[in-house]
Amino acid sequence: MEHYMMNLTLKVWRQKNANDKGGFESYPVKNISSEMSFLEMIDVLNEELIRDGKDPIAFDHDCREGICGACSMYINGRPHGPWEQNTTCQLHMRAYKDGDTITIEPWRANAFPVIKDLVVDRSAFDRIIQAGGYISVNTGNAVDANAMPVEKDKADAAFAAAACIGCGACVAACKNSSALLFVSAKVSHLALLPQGSPERKSRALNMVAQMDKEGFGACTNTGACEAVCPKGISITNIARLNAEFSLAALVSQ
């Protein structure tokens, strides 16, 4: 692929803290290589801001190889930018051309309050996991691998659901700020496997109850979550969670 340099204009959401009103600031960035990642481009801008004695742009990042789920930018009207099944850190500047203006916003949802600039508090997801995203195992020696038979198609579906990295793009994309794709991936991952069966019913009920408590909206099956998911989590998981939840609620005391 041809290498080229570009000059861009960034419109970035700046907000000092959770209580600050915040607003957009425009920054020209020059001599950006098409081979840089999107976050490296922000790094270049931050180096300049620091050199000028200004506050650098705060943003979440960790592994920078698309597996941790930390990066969370809403770029030109789409979580994680224009590429499909991709995280912001794996978005490369060859997606843009010289002279482009790029608008960068934080995830927007009441359940994900802005902490600073592009960093939002996603601990609501942690509390949903704590409510039921676990299994019980006996202590003692580790069980032999593959001691428990699992059907291949169920193992594959569980693995596909387990690919969720909990980045929150589904919430950011959903018009209702619903977290149901995330919750359904976590519930499906365990509900499909024998290891998850002891808490199968309470898990669906408790995780959905926690999700509601955190202030996420209700799903209306628009499919926006699936379209932006960096791990390609299918909304089929949502239908599975609906069934898991309804059956558990019907038979519970």
DSSP string, the chain: ----EEEEEEEEEE-SSTTS--EEEEEEEEEEETTSBHHHHHHHHHHHHHHTTPPPPP---S-SSSSS-----EETTEET-SSSS--GGG-BGGGS-TT-EEEEE----TTS-EEETTEE--HHHHHHHHHH-------SSPPPTT-S---HHHHHHHHHHHT-----HHHHH-TT---HHHHHHHHHHHHTSGGGSTTHHHHHHHHHHHHHHTT--------HHHHH-TT---THHHHHHHHHHHHHHHH--
Distance CA 209, CA 166 (A): 18
Closer residue to another protein, CB minimum distance, 148 or 239: 239
Please report, as residue ranges, which positions from 151 to 190 form the binding site for another protein (by CB under 8 A): 173, 175-178, 180
223 binds another protein (CB under 8 A): yes
The correct pick among 219, 230, 231, 233 for binding another protein (CB under 8 A) is 219
Which range of residues in 32-40, 89-97, 115-123, 233-241 is near another protein by CB under 8 A? 233-241
Contacts with another protein in 36-75 (CB under 8 A)?
A: 74
Please report whether residue 143 would count as binding another protein according to CB under 8 A.
no
The least distance separating another protein from the CB of residue 187, rounded to whole angstroms, comes to: 11
Closest listed residue to residue 56, CA positions, set 111, 103, 10: 10
Residue 195, interface with another protein (CB under 8 A)? no
**Segment near another protein (CB under 8 A), from 1-9, 117-125, 126-134, 215-223?**
215-223
- Choose which of 105, 120, 161, 168 interacts with another protein (CB under 8 A): 105
Q: Which is nearer to another protein, 158 or 173 (CB)?
A: 173
Closest contact distance (angstroms) between CB of 18 and another protein is: 12
Site membership for another protein, residue 119 (CB under 8 A): no
Considering the complex, what minimum distance in angstroms separates the CB of residue 140 from another protein? 34
Q: β-strands 101-105, 5-14: how paired? A: parallel
* By CB under 8 A, residue 88 contacts another protein: no
Kindly state the smallest distance separating residue 142's Cβ from another protein, in Å: 33
Chain residues in the site for another protein (CB under 8 A): 11, 24, 74, 76-78, 103, 105, 108-111, 173, 175-178, 180, 205, 208-209, 211-212, 215-228, 235-250, 252-253
